[in-house]
Each structure stands twice: as structure tokens, then as C-alpha cells.
Amino acid sequence: MTAPTGSGTLTAILAAVADPTRRTVFERLVTVGPSTATALSAELGISRQAVAKHLAQLAEVRLAEPKRVGRETRYSARPDQLEPVTDWTERTTTLWRRRLNRLGEVTSGPNDDRRGQGSATGGRAPVTDPGDRIR
């Protein structure tokens, strides 16, 4: 019915990639493959500590998957985890397209003499409303 994932999750995922640095870290993992905080720190010119924090936050919403290798943790990207967000965005955009079409129709519609209290014509049947139904 609603989004496949609770909007709480969507919020968390969106928040996770809203930060430009974190997004860079994520996209780096997507393009170059699994990596460690140390390696990413050198490649991106950000402190290791900062990278580790971003990786932890990405892991929290499962956009990155940690795996212990020796005494380092390697992270791989999970771009598939973005799917609920992409689905939600597409569905929401489709709904707004319908609502905005309707907004345009109502605004420029024929029985449009609405000054304050609506069309004081008594009858409320949408007889002349051309595109009244929205599926």
C-alpha cells in the first residue's frame, strides 16, 4: 500500500546519503569495489577517523556491508539497498503528476467563478467538469 519500507527507513537512507562526503565514500565503494577506511582515507584525502565514521553510518542503513579481514574491516557497497527509496520516489512522483494535473484542471476549470464561498450555483454535480475523474 504505502512505501515497501517504512518511511523511517527511507528517512534514514536519505539522511545517510544526504551528506556529500558520505555520498562520495559510498559512490567510491560502488565504483572501485570493497575497501577499507585506511585505503579510502588515502584515496579521498579525508582523515581515517572521518571515513570510518561515514562507513559506520552507511553500514547502519545497510548501504555498506562490513567484513572483518585480519585486523582491518573491509566495506562493500550495497546499492541494491537503495531500491526502496527509488521505488518510493517513482511512485510519489507519479502521484504528484496526477495531483498537479488535477490542480490545473480545477484552477482553470469551467465552473470557476469561485470567489470565496465556491460556485454559488446551488447544484453540486460536476456536470461540466471535463476531466473530473482521476484514476
Partner 1 sequence: MASSPSPAVTSHDVDSPPREVWRTMTEPEPFRRWMGPGSTIQPVPGGPLTVSDPASGEPKVGRVTEVRPCEFMSWIWRPLGSEPDETTSVEVELVPIPDGTRITVTEAPSPVSLPLTPTMGTIVDSAPSCLGTALAGTALAGIGR
Task: Point out which residues bind partner 1 (CB under 8 A).
Answer: 1-3, 6-8, 10-11, 13-15, 17, 23, 26-27, 30-31, 79, 82, 85-86, 88-90, 92-93, 95-104, 106-109, 114, 116-119, 126, 129, 134
Q: Which is nearer to partner 1, 42 or 95 (CB)?
A: 95
What backbone phi and psi angles, to 5 degrees, belong to 4? Answer: -60, -30
Q: Nearer Cβ to partner 1, position 33 or 72?
A: 33
Helix (H) and strand (E) counts in the chain: 5, 3
Q: Dihedral of the CA atoms 121, 98, 10, 47 (nearest 10)? A: -120
Find the shortest distance in angstroms from Cβ 35 to partner 1.
15
Cβ at position 66, least distance to partner 1 in Å:
19
Going by C-alpha positions, the residue among 55, 57, 101, 88 that lies closest to residue 74 is: 55
